[in-house]
Amino acid sequence: MRTEFFLLWASAQAAVAAIRPKNFIMVIPDGMAPASQTLVRTYLSMLNGGSPEAPAINAMPIDETPLGNTRTHSSNNLITDSAAAGTALACGFKTNNGALGVTPDGQALGSILEAAKQDGYLTALVVTSIINHATPAAYSSHSVSRNALPQIAEQQIGYSHPLNQSVDILLGGGRCYFKPQSDSTSCREDDIDLFAYAKDKGYSIAQNRSSFDALSSGRSRITLPYLGLFNDNDLSYEIDRQQQPQAEREPSLSEMTETALQSLDRARQCRGRHCRNRNDKGYFLMIEASRIDHSSHAHDAAAHLHDTLEYNNVMEKLINWIDAHPDTAMLSVADHETGGLTLPGYDPRLLQTPTHSIEYLSSQWDESDKSESYLRSDILPAYGLSDASDAEVQAILGDFSAGLADALSERAGISWSTGGHSGVDTTLYGYAAGRTGEQLKADMAGGFDNTEIPRYIEQALGVNIDRVTRELRAKGTGWIP
């Protein structure tokens, strides 16, 4: 029995890629629960009628694409953090919570993105958090601590990375880490000006809506590489972003995805002397719906719904893109679950009225006189709680964020079991067109450890992660913050 078990386990370790796509897209909805998808699906269905007592539920596009489950534990904890999980998904190795692109004892681990770059592929990172946050950082930097944010930003654009530039497109938040301390909005404690460095190294830079629009969804003549950061911190939650004035509105994850896809597709076909891709290779693109996780830490059901909905929008766009570009394959999996989200007796219709996240309302509150009348006139309606009871109002005045979160979640029958991450398996989705799609399903149906995901992509693209690891280790460890 023991041997049989071992063989079964061993064969599960080796998901052999029988597909040979030109391009691979990896999508990570950070912290998304299996229940998050149920919530989004039933919410949208009920906007079209039906009730919890008489449900009429329509499947979402990604509901057709689950392949299996992914195990997420890290090397030193049953409950992973985003750094260890990102390292597993990017590098194919377990590490300790907090570590990025290094083993538990601080030795560098090459990533699938770096391996793709070394082999001549184009590469891109598109996220809604700061660009140097754990998940994108795991694909593009190496640090014993995820908190070394200024140093991670340096590595991501090749300022202090042994392989120099590995990322052709970076889109997300985190502007403040790229500005020298002399700038009042900087998050650095030194004079390094990473925007100036990037520009000098040939990156085009976008820092606002008008420069993003100038990229014309990737159809413009703007060449790679480019760096687009649209908030000093994380990008806004989708629910808040939609309310921003058009001229200053941050790009959505869908818009950034569209821009990256168009740019990569154009650059891939570029054959001139000025082109970055002369090897007729494709691209590796990692997209992260980063802030699903933040909404779950905050138990903000409204922000959670809209960021998970936007992840679904991106996935639908990708499925359509792949149908039109059948040389492209995609996998998507959450790095872990956050919040212990469950739906015991819920009614998603109650999430229809909020127009802002708790994060946004907290900043409004902090700038106000914090009076009960302001709470009742402005805050409560914006979070769908116009008819709040006296007990709810007192709870919110006592603890603003938790009070709002608990009131809405309780009314909607949505339950959170932790303020942190949980250990449950996450859903593995995947899509490719035609025969490649059938083969992807045959290859990846089942249960996988998170470390197996990049190994599959590695085989599919025919690149070599371990060779990058050897190259990085040849430089010692002095460069690893």
Ligand X SMILES: *[C@@H]1O[C@H](CO)[C@@H](O)[C@H](O)[C@H]1NC(C)=O
Instruction: Write down the least CB distance from residue 241 to Zn ion, Å.
Output: 20
- Is 335 known to sit in a ligand binding site? yes
List residues binding ligand X (CB under 6 A).
Answer: 163-164, 207-208, 210-211
- CB environment 213-230: b (16+ within 10 A), e (fewer): eebebbeeebbbbbbbbb
Radius of gyration of the chain (CA): 22
Of 74, 82, 263, 290, catalytic: 82
Total residues in contact with Zn ion, by rule CB under 5 A: 5
**Residue 65's binding partner, choosing from ligand X, Zn ion, none, with beta-carbon cut-off 5 to 8 A by kind?**
none
Contact 277, 270 (CB under 8 A): yes
SS (H, E, C) 265-284: HHHHCCCCCCCCCCCCCCEE
Instruction: Write down the least CB distance from residue 200 to ligand X, Å.
Output: 12
Instruction: Write down the least CB distance from residue 257 to Zn ion, Å.
Output: 19
Instruction: Write down the least CB distance from residue 154 to Zn ion, Å.
Output: 22
Residues 88-127 that bind Zn ion (CB under 5 A): none
Instruction: For Zn ion, give the closer residue by CB, 31 or 228.
Output: 31
Relative orientation angle of helices 358-366 and 400-412, to the nearest 10 degrees: 150
Instruction: Write down the least CB distance from residue 247 to ligand X, Å.
Output: 7
- Is 288 known to sit in a ligand binding site? yes
Residue pointed to by tokens 């054959």: 271
Distance of alpha carbon 91 from alpha carbon 88, whole angstroms? 5
Distance of alpha carbon 27 from alpha carbon 288, whole angstroms? 6
Q: Structure tokens of 349?
A: 């219709």
Helix (H, G, I), strand (E, B) or coil at 186: coil
Question: Strands, DSSP E only, in 371-425?
Answer: 421-422
Instruction: For ligand X, give the closer residue by CB, 229 or 358.
Output: 229
Q: What region does 434 belong to: left with phi over 0, alpha with psi -120 to 50, or beta?
A: left
Helix (H, G, I), strand (E, B) or coil at 207: coil
Cβ count within 10 A of residue 203: 23
Residue pointed to by tokens 């009730």: 51
Instruction: For Zn ion, give the closer residue by CB, 82 or 128.
Output: 82
Question: What's phi and psi for 275, nearest 5 deg?
Answer: -75, 145
Question: What's phi and psi for 12, nearest 5 deg?
Answer: -65, -25
Quickly count helices (H) and strands (E) in the chain: 20, 12
Instruction: For ligand X, give the closer residue by CB, 22 or 209.
Output: 209
Concatenated DSSP letters of 194-262: HHHHHHHTT-EEE-SHHHHHHTGGGTSSPPSPEEEE--SSSPPPHHHHTTS-GGGPPPPHHHHHHHHHH
Instruction: For Zn ion, give the closer residue by CB, 186 or 450.
Output: 450
**Residue 82's binding partner, choosing from ligand X, Zn ion, none, with beta-carbon cut-off 5 to 8 A by kind?**
Zn ion
Instruction: Write down the least CB distance from residue 167 to ligand X, Å.
Output: 14
Of the candidates 238, 335, 337, 458, which one interacts with Zn ion according to CB under 5 A?
Answer: 335
Contact 298, 401 (CB under 8 A): yes
Instruction: For Zn ion, give the closer residue by CB, 32 or 461.
Output: 32
- Is 421 known to sit in a ligand binding site? yes
Q: Tell me whether residue 82 is one of the annotated catalytic residues.
A: yes
Residues 24-83 that bind Zn ion (CB under 5 A): 30-31, 82
- Is 356 known to sit in a ligand binding site? no
- Is 133 known to sit in a ligand binding site? yes
Instruction: For Zn ion, give the closer residue by CB, 212 or 448.
Output: 448
- Is 443 known to sit in a ligand binding site? no
Contacts of 363 (CB under 8 A, 6+ apart): none
- Is 451 known to sit in a ligand binding site? no
The answer to whether the bond into 225 is cis (omega within 30° of 0) is yes
Give the residue among 415, 377, 197 at the shortest CA–CA distance from 388: 377
Instruction: Write down the least CB distance from residue 253 to ligand X, Å.
Output: 21
**Residue 233's binding partner, choosing from Zn ion, ligand X, none, with beta-carbon cut-off 5 to 8 A by kind?**
none
**Residue 207's binding partner, choosing from ligand X, Zn ion, none, with beta-carbon cut-off 5 to 8 A by kind?**
ligand X
Instruction: For ligand X, give the closer residue by CB, 15 or 222.
Output: 222
Instruction: Write down the least CB distance from residue 288 to Zn ion, Å.
Output: 9
Q: What region does 384 belong to: left with phi over 0, alpha with psi -120 to 50, or beta?
A: left
**Residue 211's binding partner, choosing from Zn ion, ligand X, none, with beta-carbon cut-off 5 to 8 A by kind?**
ligand X
Q: Structure tokens of 284?
A: 């590796």
Question: What's phi and psi for 47, nearest 5 deg?
Answer: -65, -25
CA 63 to chain centre: 19
**Residue 307's binding partner, choosing from Zn ion, ligand X, none, with beta-carbon cut-off 5 to 8 A by kind?**
none
Q: Structure tokens of 228?
A: 């687009």
- Is 294 known to sit in a ligand binding site? no
Binding segment toward Zn ion, per CB under 5 A, in 139-147, 267-275, 292-300, 366-374: 292-300
**Residue 208's binding partner, choosing from Zn ion, ligand X, none, with beta-carbon cut-off 5 to 8 A by kind?**
ligand X
**Annotated binding residues for Zn(2+):** 30, 293, 297, 335-336, 421
The catalytic site residues sit at: 82
Interface residue list for Zn ion (CB under 5 A): 30-31, 82, 293, 335
**Annotated binding residues:** 30, 133, 135, 288, 293, 297, 335-336, 421
